[in-house]
Amino acid sequence: MIDYIKGKITELTPTSAIIETGGIGYITHISLSTYSLLENKDTAQIYVYEAIREDAHLLFGFFTKEERAMFLLLISVSGIGANTARMILSSLSVSELQQCIAQENTSVLKNVKGIGLKTAQRLIIDLKDKIDRLDGGIKTTGNASYSSVKQEAASALGMLGFQPTPINKILDKIFTDTPSPTVEQAIKQALKML
């Protein structure tokens, strides 16, 4: 079992990262949270989960051990596969997800693509006692200046296929409504509004 891959980021998209180490490029499927933390970096250490199936050998990459631990908890729930777990972690940070589970907030979980009411309820029932084992959420730096955070968020949204004019209007509104959001928070809010 691979614990992590450390090397040069040769390609980065909102859904995957190719990390080159030892002359081999490993494709890792990542969440939007991990993407926002890897953006503008040349090298990285990605914690990995290997999904070995009959028809494919996939690597899922995470910026933190906490995100990987939450991913493993999510895929342990009946009805939640690796891609759905990745979608959940793209929509909610580890700490937000822990809070939703602790407060039994099915309405927030239902807003995630691919999660219905029954799956949200099952997720809460299965994970409520297990989330205490995770230590904190994803560590993001809240010290980035307004312009660099906005620029990173706009760049990520542009890579997802959104046009610059609506991106800038929505990001301006987000930065007006929310004092000093992180890149991840700005992207998540924009995705809900675009």
Domain 65-133: give its CATH superfamily. Answer: 5' to 3' exonuclease, C-terminal subdomain (1.10.150.20)
How many Å is the Cα radius of gyration of the chain?
17
Greater pLDDT, 71 or 180: 71
Q: In whole angstroms, give the CA distance from residue 165 to residue 150.
A: 13
Angle subtended at Cα 29 by Cα 145 and Cα 73, rounded to the nearest 5 degrees: 95
Instruction: Identify the CATH assignment for 4-62 out of 1.10.645.10, 1.10.10.60, 2.60.40.10, 2.40.50.140.
Output: 2.40.50.140
Q: What is the reported pLDDT for 133? A: 54
Helices (H), 129-163: 146-159
Average predicted confidence (pLDDT) for the chain: 84
pLDDT digits (tens, 9 = 90+) for 147-157: 667 777 887 88
Q: What is the pLDDT of residue 140?
A: 33
